[in-house]
Structure 1
């Protein structure tokens, strides 16, 4: 900590709010707003000073309990102190303020979002939008901007008569005022944290319906796009009652609004009763949206609506417990979508996305525990990461499986009722689940939340008549393969063992470093599987005698078990405790794989190997290996959809076409260019589900004219989904000219600041030259990027994108040097993680390059 920087302190609680009465008048032309605020307070201890949070606000007048007030600001601490002439008496009092603020363009606080109206496409217009998590309500009103300090809110907005005004609660009155304005009043909110407050002013259309409990549900869209809100409305109408039943608590607000925002830094935000989304995560075009987009929208809607109970009704005490909000919502979004959309087979997707990414990150020395002490809110952004969301969801899933569905629901319902409209810590949830299940939940789960990493279970066995005697031991799994120094680290591991005859033959908790387990009724030729369906958050390493029977029946295993076995084998090879050639052989055995979700993991693993070998002399052989693996799936699926296709077949077709294009299949690239030409000339439109794949493949074998046509398609697209497809394709050009054109486009006014990382990512995944250029771009434009994304996590995202995937010690050292000279604290852990991963890649390549080259040549 710098010597001149004051240590962080939470706000004093001598005085706390019980109600905010807020009236705001935003000016969407001058980008300012004025506010009047009456805060009813509970004076718990007599004092003559009140300290609140405030940032970029000027208080023009203030009175408290009849006293005049002296106002002083602490810009660094983002606080304002109201100094009174005499002490306040214990009890209730009111402070009244008038103030002004800025409608900024930083996508935080109360900010402006630019858009165009379909009837006036050349005219820039602005909406007023809020994003307050983690600590930006203070940019809209002076307040106690900490999750623990809850209050109710009475919101009034004075806005132009022709605009829509929304807040957390239902509108109670609307009256005209002079100047072509209207005063819109909203009902009082429940007691809630400031980061969940929201208000929006702009031009919107909407669709609406009611759920089975009579709750009004509305989806707000940009003008002219209300039909694109229908899919999300259908999902929300099913989702709200699912959660009300699951939690055994009615949704406590009279309405549920979901709204698409055009300038939005996060993916979505769970403001109570008024959830905000990026357009592509809410809007579904009935004709031009892909099955992948529909799946994504269903998951994100499920996630944010889950927060209405878990996060909003019961809120974390401090950001240290953020994982409890996000990990739980990530787990239950999959449970909900499995209920509302079984065709997605969503739990296998969970493994290929949340589970795999969490295991990969948490094996690094520079990971962090799920529960990590957080000081000032500026530190919060650093833990909005894979550990909080993905690992958090994985250990919730493991806990759910261990204590059972009924115990879990009973304990969860008890927790939500006990802490409704209050705040809670992780330990409070464990206590409720422990009471319901009569199992030592806290003892077991603390080993997963309070320490970093996870174990690998080594499994060996011998036959004893009709029984199999297994020796199972645990040690910390380290991405570098070296667990020395971690010998004392243990987890309490819920273990399930399946056999060919019994899916749950044995269940127990491994509490020690090693144990012996007898599995009865298992013959010499029977297989045994540890951690079926990958409910437990750990890897498994089998002895050769146990692995061989599993591999012989690989195709008979569930998609979840095939996927898990593949990813464990891959991780062990990367760590140097397994063979990369064995991984390639195993990948090759998936040549007849038909599951989209297994292919999602296959493609990820193949992509990691491609990045590893992309600058070596065996890369051409590697691409031939990849194409050989992909060809049978394309032969089965073909270019065009069939009546017999499942939803997942549709998604797999796109994945396979994209992968064939990525690895240079000449027929795929040629046909993609032909179809792209027909699409551009409006002769024959490319179906939505394969658009992204065709765009990418066409450009990977194309020239500047294809790039220019893609930009032209972007410029006339009125769908954010279509634009994101193009962003993910534009980096696929392989020439220096195309790479330069892509970077120039990325920083032009055509790309909203929130979408720049998507364009950069398409470049980093294309080829080594593109990856190098992106890293150089970030260095050369560092000052511009800092200014543009000041205070936002999007810059951390760009740092992640631009520093990942390299394969040399030299590059790791260069990245470390740059960020030591140009520090960005929110991304400090990301830089360490990526540099560690780069060094692991370099060692992996050095270790296995020759044997992989020899094996690929033999194929």
Structure 2
């Protein structure tokens, strides 16, 4: 699942849009390759494979009472029929579940939430037995109690039930859309990960309790009806309905089941192996699916070749859903997306949007192998799904679009993002014990996704691509259609490489945090070495140590590693050939650690930055480490600001993205002081020359230049650079009047820049553009810009707009986050708004990750102890269990800001004055 779509927390704690925003042995035959004679569920079920449960379950996993489902009765196959009512927003269902009874029992416990069961009986060779039905709402389970013990062996549980097509964007829910004529209608869609299949049908809703599924949907005859598999048969039903039955699925977890009923157009293609690929779009917008179709058609063969395993299903559908909480969801054969994560308008979509769609498509299609074919045993091992997919999506996009220089962007979007979060005392290990469902959403964060992908990237570099691919093939082949633990992956990669993978990686996945390497050059005649010592970054008195693969490049070989070693203890030494002018550790920023250089080593590197002898990832990595060290109190922030002078010739988009994020963090630190004007002058001097180089007009259509232009206009606009704001206003008025159209790449930056003047008419013109467009990407651009206004009147209007019927529930966080991130006044007013509307917001987002994102975006940038105490007190009185970690992290960020300002505030001011 893609859950980075909402935004990412930069070093400042603000909500920042993510870019809009991985040896053949033998092949495995495609399962279900012949649908004239589909395999039965018993053929698909691995034989004599005992269910394994994580050793974590034997430990105390949670402060809350939680018990996984008993294994006395387990499912083998579901035959389910669902009939949604798109007018009453309800559905009815009936199902037969083939089960295996492992031991005599009178009770069967399975998951069920918000469902009414009208009948339940057990059918076997011994006869029928009707069950008493008792629900346990708190545990989201239902217990079926039978008059006598069920006999050991096979049987069937038959049930009829009903539920609500809810408006919570989870389970089987309704999504509102408009027809081309403007008529408001609803479709029925699903989102089951992590624990919401139980809202659509009573089931064993745990990833290890896999089964096969036969799905039938009874739907209006004029609606599109989709599920995981191709249609097997259709028939008319009285009342203007039709019954659609789908082929049997492979054995899979319940969270991967999906069904959609609504009105859609589609574009279709086939990959090189004949797999049918369709992209479903809103009616009348087929052309917006062409880009994603092209990416998907290229991606499936890429993954087939990389894993040496064919895509296991005969079709893959990608569909845009109007109301969707996550970015996308990897349902096997039917992948669901936010509109902004799938649709690309040939004219109105930006380069950032295209890149984002490519990454999300690459991420979800990777899951078809890694996650769907082989699945984690329990949510403790979530990172097996998300970390891997978040790494290989970049490998895929780099293959499809080498001009994106996407691996450099990985450093900013994932590596740095993970380092920032993992430096906190309220972080968590990659593998964290998970018990109660409330806790699952908390780990869909930058640790599972971005740290997971970063340590996979480091491991890939450590063992080499050939061994990595061999190990991945062996892992997926051995565990196909089964469930795994992290240790299974380490075993496969260790066997393939002959290296101690498990020993090394356990130090990275089983504890939180990461090391900082303090390094000093030691010249002994012609012998040069780097003396290294490691300690836990940001944590005093920690005895944690990691097995750190260390590499270095030098002035004599800037682009390749010239030395490597494994730092196994607290200290170590790295021998360097020759006597280079400079040495840099962690070339390419592949290692998950920070480096603190001695003054002489750092000074020697500055000419290589200024003359761009260092590669872009190394220039980026160098300054980001220094800013992070300053924030942590291990170096002076003024020194980090002085380092920016070495970037006077910098033209790389991703380097500037990181630099501007770090400078924005300091700007927010000073936002409540008298130094804001001086900070703006500094930003003007730093970025105005870059603006002069890239200009306002695109001459070559270069992807990275387009991203850089938007970044610089946005940064200068937010600091009210006169020439930039004036030109933005001119272009905006020409756009509004119809005289000339703003390029899509510039719209987000221009919209924010023109609002800094607090002009009511400009605010109204933007809302008029919002009403006029039916492209959701454009609406998101406008929503993200509204917070740039800094007058109380317009801030209040933006916040009220966020809860209006014009803003989808999933998008409210964009507006509130925008208000909070742009100004001190906005931050204060947004916090009051959250408190005043807490009941509404909590009811809307409770139990989901959007609530945690909202809290982080509003609370993290305060800079006083009084605010920290206020945030703590409010959430103590208004608990939000699914956001507990986000609340603690927000309070920690506030107190970190307080310490940072107290420690370096005067030095920063002196630097700006100078």
C-alpha displacement of 1:46: 2.0
Between the aligned partners of 1:45 and 1:627, the Cα distance in structure 2 is 74
> 2:762 corresponds to which residue?
706
C-alpha displacement of 1:588: 2.7
C-alpha displacement of 1:589: 2.3
Q: What does the per-residue CA deviation read over 1:383-417, in whole Å, with 9 as the maximum and x for residues that have no partner?
A: 00111101111000000000110111111111111
> 1:421 corresponds to which residue?
481
C-alpha displacement of 1:787: 1.8
Between the aligned partners of 1:828 and 1:790, the Cα distance in structure 2 is 12
Residue 556 of structure 2 is aligned to residue 501 of structure 1: yes
1:591 aligns with one of 631, 648, 663? 648
Residue 451 of structure 2 is aligned to residue 391 of structure 1: yes
> 2:605 corresponds to which residue?
550
SS in 2 for 1:684: coil
> 2:13 corresponds to which residue?
none
Between the aligned partners of 1:534 and 1:81, the Cα distance in structure 2 is 52
- Which shifted more, 60-69 or 715-724? 60-69
Q: How does 1:345-356 map to 2 (within 5 A)?
A: 345-356=405-416
Between the aligned partners of 1:806 and 1:728, the Cα distance in structure 2 is 20
Between the aligned partners of 1:455 and 1:854, the Cα distance in structure 2 is 31
2:784 aligns with one of 728, 746, 757? 728
Q: What does the per-residue CA deviation read over 1:821-846, in whole Å, with 9 as the maximum and x for residues that have no partner?
A: 11111111111111111111111111
Give structure 2 stretches of 5+ with no counterpart.
1-62
Residue 171 of structure 2 is aligned to residue 109 of structure 1: yes
Q: Is residue 574–residue 844 contact of structure 1 (8 Å, CA) maintained in 2? A: yes
SS in 1 for 2:74: strand
Q: Is residue 429–residue 510 contact of structure 2 (8 Å, CA) maintained in 1? A: yes
> 1:534 corresponds to which residue?
589
Residue 628 of structure 2 is aligned to residue 566 of structure 1: no
C-alpha displacement of 1:77: 1.0
Q: Is residue 673–residue 702 contact of structure 1 (8 Å, CA) maintained in 2? A: no
C-alpha displacement of 1:83: 1.3
Q: What does the per-residue CA deviation read over 1:472-498, in whole Å, with 9 as the maximum and x for residues that have no partner?
A: 1100100xxxx4320x21000011121
1:64 aligns with one of 122, 136, 157? 122
C-alpha displacement of 1:6: 7.4
> 1:39 corresponds to which residue?
97
SS in 2 for 1:553: helix
SS in 1 for 2:370: coil
Residue 833 of structure 2 is aligned to residue 777 of structure 1: yes
User: Alignment length, in residue pairs?
Assistant: 845
Q: How does 1:118-129 map to 2 (within 5 A)?
A: 118-119=180-181, 121=182, 123-129=183-189
C-alpha displacement of 1:788: 2.0
Q: What does the per-residue CA deviation read over 1:365-399, in whole Å, with 9 as the maximum and x for residues that have no partner?
A: 11111110000222100100111101111000000
Residue 536 of structure 2 is aligned to residue 476 of structure 1: yes
Residue 67 of structure 2 is aligned to residue 9 of structure 1: yes
2:112 aligns with one of 48, 54, 57? 54
C-alpha displacement of 1:681: 1.3
SS in 1 for 2:161: strand
Q: Is residue 852–residue 887 contact of structure 2 (8 Å, CA) maintained in 1? A: no
Between the aligned partners of 1:476 and 1:767, the Cα distance in structure 2 is 34
> 1:236 corresponds to which residue?
296
Q: Is residue 194–residue 440 contact of structure 2 (8 Å, CA) maintained in 1? A: yes
Q: Is residue 135–residue 143 contact of structure 2 (8 Å, CA) maintained in 1? A: yes
Residue 259 of structure 2 is aligned to residue 199 of structure 1: yes
Q: Is residue 499–residue 522 contact of structure 1 (8 Å, CA) maintained in 2? A: no
Q: What does the per-residue CA deviation read over 1:200-250, in whole Å, with 9 as the maximum and x for residues that have no partner?
A: 000000001000111000000111111100000000000111111111111
Between the aligned partners of 1:637 and 1:717, the Cα distance in structure 2 is 29
> 1:794 corresponds to which residue?
850
Q: Is residue 758–residue 791 contact of structure 2 (8 Å, CA) maintained in 1? A: no
- RMSD between superposed Cα atoms in Å: 1.2
> 1:337 corresponds to which residue?
397
Between the aligned partners of 1:57 and 1:849, the Cα distance in structure 2 is 57
> 2:81 corresponds to which residue?
23
Q: What does the per-residue CA deviation read over 1:743-791, in whole Å, with 9 as the maximum and x for residues that have no partner?
A: 1111111101100111112112211000111111111111111122233
Instruction: Sort the Cα spacing of 1:156 and 1:703 in 2 relative to 1 into closer, same or farther, 3 A.
Output: same
Between the aligned partners of 1:788 and 1:543, the Cα distance in structure 2 is 51
SS in 2 for 1:93: strand
SS in 2 for 1:589: helix
2:860 aligns with one of 782, 787, 804? 804
Q: Is residue 454–residue 476 contact of structure 1 (8 Å, CA) maintained in 2? A: yes
- Which shifted more, 511-520 or 561-570? 511-520
Q: What does the per-residue CA deviation read over 1:121-165, in whole Å, with 9 as the maximum and x for residues that have no partner?
A: 1x3200000000010001110100000100000000000010000
Q: Is residue 591–residue 630 contact of structure 1 (8 Å, CA) maintained in 2? A: no
> 2:3 corresponds to which residue?
none
Q: What does the per-residue CA deviation read over 1:549-571, in whole Å, with 9 as the maximum and x for residues that have no partner?
A: 21121121110000000100001
Q: Is residue 589–residue 618 contact of structure 2 (8 Å, CA) maintained in 1? A: yes
Q: Is residue 117–residue 161 contact of structure 2 (8 Å, CA) maintained in 1? A: yes
Q: What does the per-residue CA deviation read over 1:709-742, in whole Å, with 9 as the maximum and x for residues that have no partner?
A: 1111111210110000001111111111111111
Q: Is residue 607–residue 646 contact of structure 2 (8 Å, CA) maintained in 1? A: no
Between the aligned partners of 1:461 and 1:505, the Cα distance in structure 2 is 15
Between the aligned partners of 2:467 and 2:754, the Cα distance in structure 1 is 53
Residue 141 of structure 2 is aligned to residue 84 of structure 1: no
Between the aligned partners of 1:159 and 1:851, the Cα distance in structure 2 is 67
Between the aligned partners of 1:436 and 1:116, the Cα distance in structure 2 is 53
Q: Is residue 564–residue 574 contact of structure 2 (8 Å, CA) maintained in 1? A: no
> 1:485 corresponds to which residue?
541
- Which shifted more, 821-830 or 231-240? 821-830
> 1:694 corresponds to which residue?
750
> 1:212 corresponds to which residue?
272
Q: Is residue 397–residue 406 contact of structure 2 (8 Å, CA) maintained in 1? A: yes
Between the aligned partners of 1:104 and 1:642, the Cα distance in structure 2 is 49
C-alpha displacement of 1:574: 1.1
Q: What does the per-residue CA deviation read over 1:294-341, in whole Å, with 9 as the maximum and x for residues that have no partner?
A: 000000000000001111010000000011111110011011101111
TM-score by length of 2: 0.91
Between the aligned partners of 1:682 and 1:419, the Cα distance in structure 2 is 58
Q: What does the per-residue CA deviation read over 1:338-360, in whole Å, with 9 as the maximum and x for residues that have no partner?
A: 11110100001000111111111
> 1:660 corresponds to which residue?
716
Q: What does the per-residue CA deviation read over 1:181-212, in whole Å, with 9 as the maximum and x for residues that have no partner?
A: 11111000000000000000000000010001
TM-score by length of 1: 0.97
C-alpha displacement of 1:101: 0.8
SS in 2 for 1:331: helix
> 1:519 corresponds to which residue?
576
Residue 909 of structure 2 is aligned to residue 853 of structure 1: yes
Between the aligned partners of 2:409 and 2:863, the Cα distance in structure 1 is 28
Q: Is residue 427–residue 513 contact of structure 2 (8 Å, CA) maintained in 1? A: yes
1:274 aligns with one of 334, 338, 357? 334
Between the aligned partners of 1:55 and 1:657, the Cα distance in structure 2 is 49
> 2:873 corresponds to which residue?
817
C-alpha displacement of 1:501: 2.4
Q: Is residue 696–residue 709 contact of structure 2 (8 Å, CA) maintained in 1? A: yes
Between the aligned partners of 2:562 and 2:868, the Cα distance in structure 1 is 47
Between the aligned partners of 2:380 and 2:348, the Cα distance in structure 1 is 41
Between the aligned partners of 2:522 and 2:154, the Cα distance in structure 1 is 73
> 1:648 corresponds to which residue?
704
Give structure 1 stretches of 5+ with no counterpart.
none
Q: Is residue 461–residue 590 contact of structure 2 (8 Å, CA) maintained in 1? A: yes
> 1:313 corresponds to which residue?
373
2:191 aligns with one of 121, 131, 134? 131
Q: Is residue 41–residue 94 contact of structure 1 (8 Å, CA) maintained in 2? A: yes
C-alpha displacement of 1:517: 2.8
C-alpha displacement of 1:678: 1.4
> 2:21 corresponds to which residue?
none
Between the aligned partners of 2:201 and 2:641, the Cα distance in structure 1 is 58
Instruction: Sort the Cα spacing of 1:623 and 1:6 in 2 relative to 1 into closer, same or farther, 3 A.
Output: closer
> 1:99 corresponds to which residue?
161
Q: Is residue 64–residue 436 contact of structure 2 (8 Å, CA) maintained in 1? A: no
Q: Is residue 169–residue 325 contact of structure 2 (8 Å, CA) maintained in 1? A: yes
SS in 1 for 2:734: helix
